[in-house]
Amino acid sequence: MNEQIKIAQFGLGPIGLESLKLAATKPWASIVGGVDLDPAKVGKDLGALAGVEALRGLPVCATVEDLLGRAQLDVVLHTTVSKFKDAFVQLEPLARRGVSVVSTCEQLIFPQLKERELAAKLDKMCQESGARIVGAGVNPGFVMDVLPLCLTGVSRQVRHIRIERVVNASTRRGPLQKKIGSGLPSGEFRRLFEAGHLGHAGLKESLALIAHSLGWSLEEITETGEAVLAERDIRTRFVEVKRGLTCGLHQHAEGKVKGQTVLVLDLKMYLEAPNPRDVIQIEGDPPLTVALEGGVAGDSATVGSLVNTARRIRQAPPGLRLPTELALPFWA
């Protein structure tokens, strides 16, 4: 694969900037520009914004249409929003023009769960133009869906899967520390969680992706989310939390087949969480327990996943793809 892939970065927040910097180091990638809504970034020099000399002279555009008018694109790294409905309008012009996208949009890991019609619409556009669109990342995208599915590649039988992830959110970026509710009274956390304005996006989608891939037809997916309250005052680079206020969350999802719980995804993500880890338990033949001590470092791994997937995406058939429909992921 000698051809260089022309890449643009759509979304220049912490994840987008790190993805851009990593992509800029790859001999197979040629960066052509960036897109972001933020007026403080639009019109700036991309190299100056990212602190990468090699990217000097490249534009930061306010819209993807603007960038498409100035440069040819093969693949866009998309890192803006969590909900597929919000991402759809950003992805549509790319899908229409045959530009492929690897996105950290959490719901894109299994967009059919909440937006079946929109997903079918985007898929059709991609099939017609030759674009491929896929979700990638660490969670969703790896630890609580793709990795457990890979492990079942040696199973003769699978009866039950339980995945537990504990994240010390103090090690994560500012936007994540905010989206887990840091600093909020527990009542406010509950209200915003129930309205879908905070919490980890994509837990149900991870669960649905596993069930879909294993051919399990779930009767029901349940999800709960509780605030974890700080036992003492906590200060990080990004937030300050007084004792008794929310310092993160405990989110839990279950899926049932014939009244039996067959899938459990349990996520604890809070500031100063002790013993961070990822544990996957597969009950079946053979039984398997895999523990990743310390857990997969979320922000760094998301960036790795995004860039590694960008190299392989054009080998997949055109369409809105599930991560399980791409070749096995590996470092590129």
Ligand X SMILES: NC(=O)c1ccc[n+]([C@@H]2O[C@H](COP(=O)([O-])OP(=O)(O)OC[C@H]3O[C@@H](n4cnc5c(N)ncnc54)[C@H](OP(=O)(O)O)[C@@H]3O)[C@@H](O)[C@H]2O)c1
Tell me which residues touch ligand X (CB under 6 A).
11-16, 35-38, 79-82, 90, 104, 106, 137-141, 173, 175, 302
Q: CB-wise, 102 or 184, nearer to ligand X?
A: 102
State which residue, 39 or 259, has the beta carbon closest to ligand X. 39
Measured between alpha carbons, how far is 204 from 107 in angstroms, rounded to an integer?
9
- Closest to ligand X by CB, 141 vs 262, is 141
User: Shortest Cβ distance from residue 64 to ligand X (Å)?
Assistant: 7
Identify which of residues 221 and 267 has a Cβ nearer to ligand X in the complex.
267
CB 259 to ligand X: min, Å: 32
DSSP designation for 45: B
Shortest Cβ 159–ligand X spacing (Å) = 28
3-state helix, strand, coil in the chain (%, to 5): 35, 30, 35
Residues 6+ apart with CB under 8 A from 260: none
Q: Read off φ and ψ for residue 273, nearest 5 degrees.
A: -65, 130
**Whole-number minimum distance, CB 37 to ligand X, in Å?**
4
142 contact partners, CB below 8 Å, separation of at least 6? 296, 301, 305, 329
Question: Helices 116-129 & 84-96, crossing angle to 10 degrees?
Answer: 20
Q: Cα-flanking dihedrals φ and ψ of residue 208, to 5°?
A: -65, -35
Nearer to ligand X, 22 or 158 (CB): 22
Nearest approach, Cβ of residue 284 and ligand X (Å): 27
Report which residue's Cβ sits closest to ligand X. 13
